[in-house]
């Protein structure tokens, strides 16, 4: 059975996968600065004999394994940017870059896909279709640079696309996905309020931007609680409110930053419209002016039904019925959503913690780490998907 052969070959690559992961972990690069990482990926793919396209949509790298007269083309994606977080782990492969670390597992995603790439290239005689290996930069920066790679045409000849994420909240050996909306959209906004400053003893001569800002926050919090259907999950959070520079001066300018999350595109648009309407009202009632910078980031990540059921079946076939679980919806976001807007596919999760507390820290934590055997589980499902679509006949 070819699928078993591929998975067995992947297991033989485990030491290389770990070596690559730890190299990436020691040498993280922030979004849009991933030039050395992109070069490392390119060099690895070329050493396997794989066709490589560089600077796709920015720092993106695409490996392409082609065959004559392909039946289909399946794409698999991994991200490779790091985060502005100090690595606080006490391990030999700790980040060597001050203030930057792979605290979300993107180093693992990339090394897993490199392992899959090597296996597929070495067994390309079994392929009846093409495999496109998408290594994406800048996933962590809204609006998400999956969008730029899509605009660069990375999916133009693709029939299906799949991606995976390590999950520190799931134990090693458990994998999960779900049908339909799975991860939320994410928008970011900055509001500047322009009042009229003055002496703290003469408020009647001013237009107090701090008072207006405080009232604005209260109004904004009522959008979700009083204007959005309570059945629809949504969040509006103000993360920053800055104004003033002295105890006895009424500030003329206040600045707020926040984020909007939703699992329904219509609700997402409703909240943006409500924010704009509230600001227009404050302009009239409080005699202030404002500027709104509103960034529409990642859309809702929606897994396709047929492909989600297929991934569930492949997980159960590979690891047993108890290995699969339905993933809970979350309002965290992932720019893989852009790919799923264009082509059918699925984003799934691989449990990555074991009994060691060091593997149980949440993503984006300074001590985030994972059981590296989870990378074999990700690679196994990727290979099973390739087997399904471009080795055996699609069912």
- What pLDDT is attached to residue 366? 98
CB count, 10 Å around CB of 46? 12
First to last CA, the chain: 16
Q: Which of 79, 87, 107, 139 is catalytic?
A: 139
* 3-state class (DSSP) for residue 312: helix
Length of the chain: 395
Residue 358 lies in a domain: yes
- The mean pLDDT of 196-205, rounded to a whole number, is 96
Residue 326 scores a pLDDT above 60: yes
We report the CATH number of the domain holding residue 46 as 3.40.630.10
pTM of the full structure: 0.94
Are residue 267 and residue 307 in the same domain, yes or no?
Answer: no
Element (H, E) at 112: helix 106-122
Residue 52 · residue 61 · CB < 8 Å: yes
Residue 53 tokens, joined: 């396209």
Are residue 145 and residue 250 in the same domain, yes or no?
Answer: no
- What pLDDT is attached to residue 395? 47
**Mean pLDDT over each residue of the chain, to the nearest integer:** 97
Residue 211 scores a pLDDT above 70: yes
DSSP per position, 82-102: BBS------STT--SSTT-B-
Are residue 328 and residue 386 in the same domain, yes or no?
Answer: yes
Residue 329 · residue 177 · CB < 8 Å: no
| Helix pair 2-12, 14-26: axis angle to 10 deg | 50
As a whole number of angstroms, the distance between CA 315 and CA 327 comes to: 13
pLDDT in tens, 10-63: 999 999 999 999 999 999 999 999 999 999 999 999 999 999 999 999 999 999
Find the domain containing 190 and state its range.
185-296
Are residue 219 and residue 93 in the same domain, yes or no?
Answer: no
Are residue 176 and residue 209 in the same domain, yes or no?
Answer: no
Task: Please name which of 245, 277, 282, 254 lies closest in space to residue 190, comparing C-alpha atoms.
Answer: 254
81 labelled catalytic: yes
We report the CATH number of the domain holding residue 260 as 3.30.70.360
Residue 363 lies in a domain: yes
Residue 170 lies in a domain: yes
Residue 395 lies in a domain: no
Give the number of domains in the chain: 2
Are residue 218 and residue 243 in the same domain, yes or no?
Answer: yes
Q: Of 272, 296, 320, which residue constitutes the final position of a domain? A: 296
Residue 267 lies in a domain: yes
Q: Which of 29, 34, 79, 81 is catalytic?
A: 81
Residue 309 lies in a domain: yes
Residue 318 CA from chain centroid, whole number:
26
pLDDT in tens, 220-278: 999 999 999 999 999 999 999 999 999 999 999 999 999 999 999 999 999 999 999 99
Are residue 277 and residue 305 in the same domain, yes or no?
Answer: no
Q: Of 296, 325, 354, which residue constitutes the final position of a domain? A: 296
Are residue 54 and residue 201 in the same domain, yes or no?
Answer: no
Q: Of 296, 322, 355, which residue constitutes the final position of a domain? A: 296
335 labelled catalytic: no
As a whole number of angstroms, the distance between CA 364 and CA 81 comes to: 13
């Amino acid at each position: 059975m070819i699928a078993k052969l591929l998975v067995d070959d992947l297991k033989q690559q485990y030491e290389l996968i770990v070596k690559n992961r730890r190299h990436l972990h020691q040498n993280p690069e922030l979004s849009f600065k991933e030039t050395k990482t992109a070069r490392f990926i390119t060099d690895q793919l070329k050493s396997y004999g794989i066709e490589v396209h560089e600077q796709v949509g920015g720092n993106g790298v695409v490996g392409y394994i082609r065959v004559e007269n392909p039946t289909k083309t399946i794409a698999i994606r991994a991200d490779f940017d790091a985060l502005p977080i100090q690595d606080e782990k006490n391990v030999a492969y700790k980040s060597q870059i001050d203030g930057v670390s792979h605290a979300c597992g993107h180093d693992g995603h990339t090394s897993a896909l490199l392992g899959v790439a090597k296996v597929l290239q070495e067994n390309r005689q079994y392929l009846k279709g093409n495999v496109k290996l998408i290594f994406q930069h800048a996933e962590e920066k809204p609006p998400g640079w999956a969008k730029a790679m899509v605009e660069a045409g990375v999916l133009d000849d693709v029939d299906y696309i799949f991606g995976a994420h390590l999950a520190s909240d799931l134990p090693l050996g458990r994998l999960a996905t779900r049908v339909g909306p799975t991860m939320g959209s994410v928008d970011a906004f900055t509001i500047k309020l322009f009042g009229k400053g003055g002496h703290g003893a003469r408020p009647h001569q001013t237009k107090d931007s701090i008072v207006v800002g405080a009232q604005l926050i209260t109004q904004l919090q009522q959008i979700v609680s009083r204007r959005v259907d309570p059945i629809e999950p949504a969040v509006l959070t103000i993360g920053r409110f800055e104004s003033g520079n002295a105890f006895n001066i009424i500030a003329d300018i206040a600045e707020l930053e926040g984020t909007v999350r939703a699992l329904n595109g219509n609700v997402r648009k409703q909240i943006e419209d409500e924010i704009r309407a509230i600001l227009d009202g404050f302009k009239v009632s409080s005699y202030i002016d404002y500027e709104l910078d509103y960034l529409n980031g990642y859309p809702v990540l929606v897994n396709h039904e047929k492909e989600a059921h297929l991934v569930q079946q492949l997980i159960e076939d590979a690891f047993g019925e108890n290995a699969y679980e339905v993933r809970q919806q979350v309002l965290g976001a992932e720019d893989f959503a852009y790919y799923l807007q264009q082509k059918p596919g699925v984003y799934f999760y691989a449990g990555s913690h074991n009994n060691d507390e060091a593997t149980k820290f949440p993503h984006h934590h300074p001590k985030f780490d994972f059981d590296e055997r989870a990378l074999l589980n990700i690679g196994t499902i990727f290979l099973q998907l390739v087997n399904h679509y471009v080795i055996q006949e699609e069912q």
